[in-house]
Amino acid sequence: MVKSPRILAVGGAHIDRRGQVSGAYVPAASNPGTMREDVGGGVFNALRSLVRRGVSASLLSLRGGDAAADTVSRAIAEAGIADLSAVFLDRTTPSYTALIDRDGELIVGFADMALYDLAFPKQIRRSKVREVIAAADAILCDANLPSAALERLVLLAAGKPVFAIAISPAKIVRLKSVLGRLAVVFMNQREAVALAGLDGTASRQDIVDGLKRAGLSSAVVTAGGGPVLGFDQDGTFAVMPPAPRKVTDVTGAGDALAGATVAALLRGTPLRGALREGVAAATLAIESADAVPDFTAATFSEALALVPDAQEVA
């Protein structure tokens, strides 16, 4: 593996709004709470973890010509990420609004991301994109890209490892046509069930078998506070996340896990060990008020020490 890996991320970098209910959530009623706004997006959240773990990162995303675009641009620069994004002055910057309960669990998410569907297929065909893909050691994408853009991106990667983040049960199916050419796909259990064509009663083994039938050779499946499931050519295993000291917000924890895991994989760490690092980053994200925490090497080491070794799953 390369000593100083360079990764190109293609996908979501947009406004994230998170409204948290103060008391017990009451459906179809006015619920008191608080609303916060920052910059998020699947690959952007993951890149912040990657950069903190020593990876050089570039980001290709899309944004509009509004004030929100300036906010996104500043956040990318502050994270130490090279910004290759395209700006459409006559469009609105994509956004994601999540409503969460008082325990930090998602009630509903609302994605206003028409620009991604409209413009990503054409952007992937630009000559400059071919150049930056050629210069990267690996590619990270998310299912905010429509299927046509994902297919073109994987084709241009020409043998480089391509990692993918599922985003949602509705969007993960966009990955179907490229599953056999992806290095690792990161998803939660609901997304895995949707991709494998199963129902909510599926066992862990059913999910693994279904994902393999769909064409995946390696994947990571999270399950809230339950064991994180992984599989590759060496078998199936699980890592049990340590109990967080507090649960502030679970939003972005899966992206943080993906970023830190990919960073370790690019250093040559096998998936079992790399996933431990991902779980440590996810734990720090859950404990933080930010989507991806500003962790240091010391706090990351402390979190990693609490993550148990992977256990084989029969």
Per-residue model confidence as pLDDT tens digits over 215-246 = 999 999 999 889 999 999 999 999 999 988 76
pLDDT higher than threshold 90 for residue 31: yes
pLDDT higher than threshold 70 for residue 248: no
287 band by pLDDT with thresholds 50, 70 and 90: confident
Note the pLDDT of residue 200.
Answer: 79
d(CA 125, CA 127): 6
293 band by pLDDT with thresholds 50, 70 and 90: low
Q: Residue 59: CB partners within 8 Å, gap ≥ 6? A: 8, 9, 10, 13, 43, 44, 47, 76, 81, 82, 83, 84, 85
pTM of the entire predicted model: 0.92
pLDDT higher than threshold 80 for residue 25: yes
pLDDT higher than threshold 90 for residue 109: no
291 band by pLDDT with thresholds 50, 70 and 90: low
Average pLDDT, the chain: 93
Note the pLDDT of residue 230.
Answer: 98
